Structure 1
Amino acid sequence: MLIQISASCWRVTIPAPRIPVKAVLFKPDIDDLVEWPVILVNAGKLLSCWERDSYIVGPVGHWPSSKRAGIEEFLDEKGGAINVPRAGIHMQEFPRSWWSLRPKTPAPVVSFINGRHRTRYLIDAGVDCVPIQVHASQSALLREICA
């Protein structure tokens, strides 16, 4: 569950009982919320777009225990607010193959600038809504595809 605490602070509650982190506080990575707005996105839709990127982070279950422990310590709300993950989105064009006359439909791709591991941890922990900071020029597309 995601709750907006103030104009620039969000609290994400983690529903999975097996996860030691119960909630995460987020603040904007960049303070200019006009040029870099924060969009609340559906975690499943975000993941399906992110899976097309070459820098996707694998499931948390495959991480070394030290990596998992480090991200849990980093995310714990007792340490204060952390930066909202920052990403970009674009439509990827696919060239026609030599055996197909029809061009493939462009597909949305999400690429992270910062926050890949914290986003993957939250998605794997069962969070259904994630705040993402994106450049204003890409915010409409991110909203359309992932909100």
Structure 2
Amino acid sequence: MLTQISPSHWRVDLHSPRIPVRAVLFKPDIEDLVEWPVVLVDAGKLFSCWERDSYIVGPVGQWPASKRAGIEEFLDAEGGAINVPRAGIHMHQPRRTWWSFSSKSAAPVLSFINGRHRTRYLIDAGVDRLPIQVHASQAALLRDSCA
């Protein structure tokens, strides 16, 4: 569950018995929330947009144990607030090929600037909503595609 605990801080509670992290506290990666607003997104929709990117992180179950332990230590709320993942989003228009009868429609593609691993961990842990920081020029597209 995602809770806004102040104008610039969020808490994501985790309820999975298979992971040791119970909650993650987030703060903005960039303090200027006008130029870099935080958008609260649906994790499933976000993952669908992220899957179209060429640089996606594999499932947590395939990570080495040391990588999993490191991210769990990093995410632990007792260590204080961590930065909200920062991303960019754009519309990608697939090229029409000579053998296709119709062109495919444009689709949003999300790419991370910072926070790929923490986002993948939270999605795999069953989180349904996440805060994502994006440039103001892309905030509307992120909301329309992933909120």
TM-score (norm 1): 0.99
Once residues 9 and 94 of structure 2 are traced to their aligned partners in structure 1, the CA distance between those partners, rounded to angstroms, is 38
Give 2:128's aligned amino acid.
D
Matches within 5 A, 1:76-91: 76-91=76-91
Partner of 2:12: 12
3-state SS, counterpart of residue 118 of structure 1:
helix
Once residues 72 and 103 of structure 2 are traced to their aligned partners in structure 1, the CA distance between those partners, rounded to angstroms, is 44
Partner of 1:47: 47
Gaps of at least 5 residues in structure 1 are none
Partner of 1:95: 95
Partner of 1:57: 57
Offset, 1:7: 0.4
Partner of 1:70: 70
3-state SS, counterpart of residue 108 of structure 1:
strand
TM-score (norm 2): 0.99
Once residues 125 and 143 of structure 1 are traced to their aligned partners in structure 2, the CA distance between those partners, rounded to angstroms, is 23
- For the aligned residue pairs, the C-alpha RMSD in angstroms reads 0.6
Partner of 1:113: 113
Any runs of at least 4 consecutive aligned residues in structure 1 with deviations exceeding 3 A, and if so which? Answer: none
Partner of 1:133: 133
Kindly tell me the number of residue pairs found equivalent between the two proteins: 147
Q: Percent identity?
A: 78
